Structure 1
């Protein structure tokens, strides 16, 4: 990740201070393998290129003062992929954490990982803990990486924790046990790659999130396309069960 100050205001297109921007953006970064296949490259080349798009998304969110960015990096279902690809993805995760840690800290970004870490190697678990500890006191944007994560797992572990503490569960209490309990729920969900589903990602948290789908493959999802998604969000009216007239009256 480069210094966020290198992003020029003009790169954000026609976004203005008057437009409503999301506080929290969640992204399924889909299409790396297909991007590589179109170029007659191994699938892993697409994953490596996808890291650059993730870096871009972080930089734009910092520039626009977005409070939180959550990236779906590896789902609990992705273990079904060929073993070689999974191993390469784990290696890429380790190297990316190592390479990006100092820059995240420099830019005052708090990074943490959500998901079941027990399936990860000790090396990867240690690297995650190191970066989380390094950035824990940062009070800028919160970057969350969802890895070995599933929305059903999240709901189940929240329920198990509540039961273990003998708590009578209501919606407010239950939410406190979920992985993103300290963040506002996502305002904008983006999925690249042409699929129109949320694929077991943040099932509870996306209840009222604005959904944005694009055919663009993740490595091709550049700054202009990200800003276009923000602009699309800014043009929507969020009613949360109310009528348009009620929203307009405030």
Structure 2
């Protein structure tokens, strides 16, 4: 019985791996015709039609990049190295500030710990990108709770109902009535990618209510070594 179960698990694993490779290949190959169509669309004389077509093509490309990002995160694990977590979060806040958003960082000036730097930056960027869509002001908080690194991304938007919090962490699920995105703003992958990154670190991602209103997305990562703090 145990041998039969092992064979079944191996077949399922191969099937999932083959499907992931197929989806990644299709998504990658579709970028070329989309690029060609975008170049041709630039020559459309009617300005209204040209703009609408370019918006549609940019939306398609954004969807493909999001899918590829999710698939790459499932297949490739970045090496762990020493990272100044505080500097990474400050950088994300500054990058969104440069784009005109109100994003604050609240935490120590420096906190060095072991992590996957590119994945961490991408995960927090996804969370802040989601937060600025719904809130006028966003805060990134960094703290330590025992042996856990806690990163909170808070917004003052409408929040998410308790009945949908867990569902919102699944791929391609978008917000409820209060936080519904239009088709040009996202594809419901930001939270799921951030969650996958947290899980790859051995951590977790969870959603919480913010008082008096808004959402807190909490990324908790285990401390793989004692962090070095600077006030």
TM superposition score normalised by structure 2 = 0.24
Structure showing the higher strand proportion among its residues: 2
TM superposition score normalised by structure 1 = 0.23
Structure showing the higher helix proportion among its residues: 2
Q: Which of the pair has more CA radius of gyration?
A: 2
